[in-house]
Chain A
Amino acid sequence: MAHDMRLLIIEDDRDAAEYLVKAFREVGHVAEHAADGEDGYALALDGAYDVLIVDRMLPKRDGLSVIGALRDKSVATPALILSALGQVDDRVKGLRAGGDDYLVKPYSFAELLARVEVLARRRGGREETVYRVADLELDRLSHRVTRGKEEISLQPREFRLLEYLMKHAGQVVTRTMLLENVWDYHFDPQTNVIDVHISRLRSKIDKGFTPPLLHTIRGAGYMIRDGAR
């Protein structure tokens, strides 16, 4: 689990902001709140936060311009954009403005938390060639996956799925995160397609091994972690 994070929530809806501050506190993070773009920009400028959560439509200064101005000042704090606008072009615009992730309202807190934790971790910026979780190993160069001494053969997409999960080992990864990052789709399929892909992957990497590594986190998503810890 990621350690305590310092978050800045730039959001003009007081109720929503209070709810987020409280919810983040409950899971052990410190969250501060700025109610408009100017305040948010001033607070974010010193760079003491791990992640910025920025609403797109803000009084005084809109979210995208806040992020743009911070990037101009070389403040590289990862920023997650919250927006009611969810079309492809809105998303592209948000990411082009310097945002690192884009979440469409309304969202579940579990989704937001998972994404924020991934962003905070990304800041460490380590890109290893071999991912390891307990005795499961994934070699990104040779595309080989082994568990213990046994080699596991995966379809290309299964490999990318496992790669993404292992890159974020110990962190919750949601279904939409998988759909976006492994499949590059930004819509929400009606059927639980991701769950079935996960259970296939699970049958390949966990079946016949102990302990199980690929866990389902209820109401949130999935996580690969060393169960023994």
Chain B
Amino acid sequence: MTALGKLLRTTAFRLTLVYLVLFALYAVLLLGFFALNARRLVTEQITTTVDTEVSGLAQQYEVGGIRRLVQVVDIRSRRPGSSLYLVATPTGEGLAGNVSSLEPGTLGQTGWVETAYRRLDAPEGSEHHALVRVSELPGGFHLLVGRDVEERERIYDIITTAGRWSMAVVVVLGLGGGFFVSRRILRRVDAITEKAQTIMAGDLSGRLPVAGTGDEIDRLALNVNAMLDRIESLMRGFKEVSDNVAHDLKTPLTRLRNRCEAALRSARTEEEYRTALNSTIEESEQLIRTFDALLMIARAEAGEGGRYMADFDAAEAARGIGELYEPVAEQKGFRLVVEAPGPAIVRGNRELISQALANLVDNAIKYAAPAPSGADAPPPTLQILAGTDGDHVVLTVVDAGPGIPERDRAHAVERFVRLEQSRSLPGSGLGLSLVSAVAHLHHGELRLEDNAPGLKATIILPRAGPPGSDAITSGTD
């Protein structure tokens, strides 16, 4: 019962019903029109034939009087399939013809009459209907000519019967088709619903069934599956991050705790306590920094920060970072070169792009620092380049340090990855992930290449129109 109820409630079935009613209505109208027209056509034919005969007989009467008319009518009456004829005296007595009885009073009227009649040769009681024309001839005689209309009625009947039958067939086929289509759709929707429930219950690897017919349900299922893919990869990423967060926050937290315990156990003087506390604070600062970076990456990956996008000159941002880092680079023994003639307009968040650049420069300073021994050697250069390349704005930080081996490059962008050479240096392992996340947020990418020797880190961003053109219409919010 419920299954049938479900079937009857489907959209497909309801649509079938609506179409059925519409189609039936159309068929009734069409057949009705057809039947009425056929009837009219037959009637017209009868009247034309009868009119011709009447005028012919009237001529005969004019030429040969009543005798001639009676003769002619007699001859015509005997022809097979003949019309109906009756010539009567002014008092109503039949003189010639093939009609034995008429409805009373028929001869009294002139013009077209529909009447019941019986032929002379027909047995008693077999009365038919006819359309007759009665005319009064000069001298008071009546002439009746007519045709049987049974044929007309039969055609009409055939058409209406055909109409009834075809209606029945339409209804049966329509309902049957509706059931069939609805059941087919219902079965697929049920399968999808069932699968969706198992997915909701936690089986994120499940996918909706696709029949392969390429119809609208398939398209929907394919799109939902694509959405599930995305959700699954996000969930996997999320789980990875939380695992990593657990690890990378717990490790320094443990260290922090150990340090406090050690101080409690062994510190004696105030100076020793002070040192322990200071290192505790430093450690917690590092934790906070890691945490902040993680939050930022998560937000950038979730597309946040996109709200404060505006057109700005990335070359100017590059110069700003260059200016910020120039003293520290010099102090660490680099020669910092900034080549950013600009303008290189991008649509984005200046703060985030600046931070991404700062991270790259930080990395270069940290990993490519020259050995402090060779005072005579020329200082290695650290370049910050900004420019445009076709539809792109390219921001590059180039160093001449050890670089990143090719096999590690893809890996280096992942969160918390700290390559062998960097484990001894301070850092969270989030710098490049943040740069990559910022690039993605701006629909760009981070590329790591070999500078032989050194690392060439490039942020490629889509270039925005010249300043002022769309900056005005786009607004700031």
Hey, which bits of chain A sit against chain B, CB under 8 A?
86-89, 92, 106, 108, 157, 183, 185-193, 196-197, 199-200, 219
Contacts and interface: CB of A to CB of B under 8 A. Distances in A.
Contacts of A193: 324-325, 327-328
Contact of A89 (B289, B305, B324): B305
B308 interface: yes
B414 interface: no
Interface string B335-356: 0000000000000010110110
Given A88-B351, A196-B331, A197-B327, A191 B365 contact: yes
User: Top 5 nearest A-B pairs by Cβ distance?
Assistant: A196-B327, A187-B355, A196-B328, A190-B362, A193-B328
Interface SS majority for chain B: helix
B307 interface: yes
B427 A87 contact: no
Contacts, number: 61
A200 B292 CA distance: 30
B354 A187 contact: yes
A220 B308 CA distance: 31
Contact of B308 (A89, A108, A200, A219): A89
Interface of B: 278, 281, 284, 288-289, 292, 295-296, 299, 304-305, 307-308, 320, 323-325, 327-328, 331, 349, 351-352, 354-355, 358-359, 362, 365-366, 427, 431
Contacts of B352: 88
B366 A191 contact: yes
A200 B305 contact: no
Contacts of B358: 185, 187, 189
Contact of B327 (A88, A108, A200, A219): A200
B226 to A, nearest CB: 30
A157 B323 contact: yes
25 contacts: A86-B295, A87-B296, A87-B299, A87-B304, A87-B305, A88-B305, A88-B308, A88-B351, A89-B305, A106-B284, A106-B288, A108-B281, A157-B323, A185-B358, A186-B351, A187-B355, A190-B359, A190-B362, A191-B328, A191-B365, A196-B328, A196-B331, A197-B324, A199-B327, A219-B278
Nearest to A198: B327
Given A185-B354, A187-B358, A190-B427, A88 B325 contact: no
A197 B288 CA distance: 25
B366 A183 contact: no
A87 B307 CA distance: 11
Contacts of B323: 157
Contact of B366 (A157, A186, A190): A190
Contacts of B307: 89
Contact of B320 (A88, A183, A219): A183
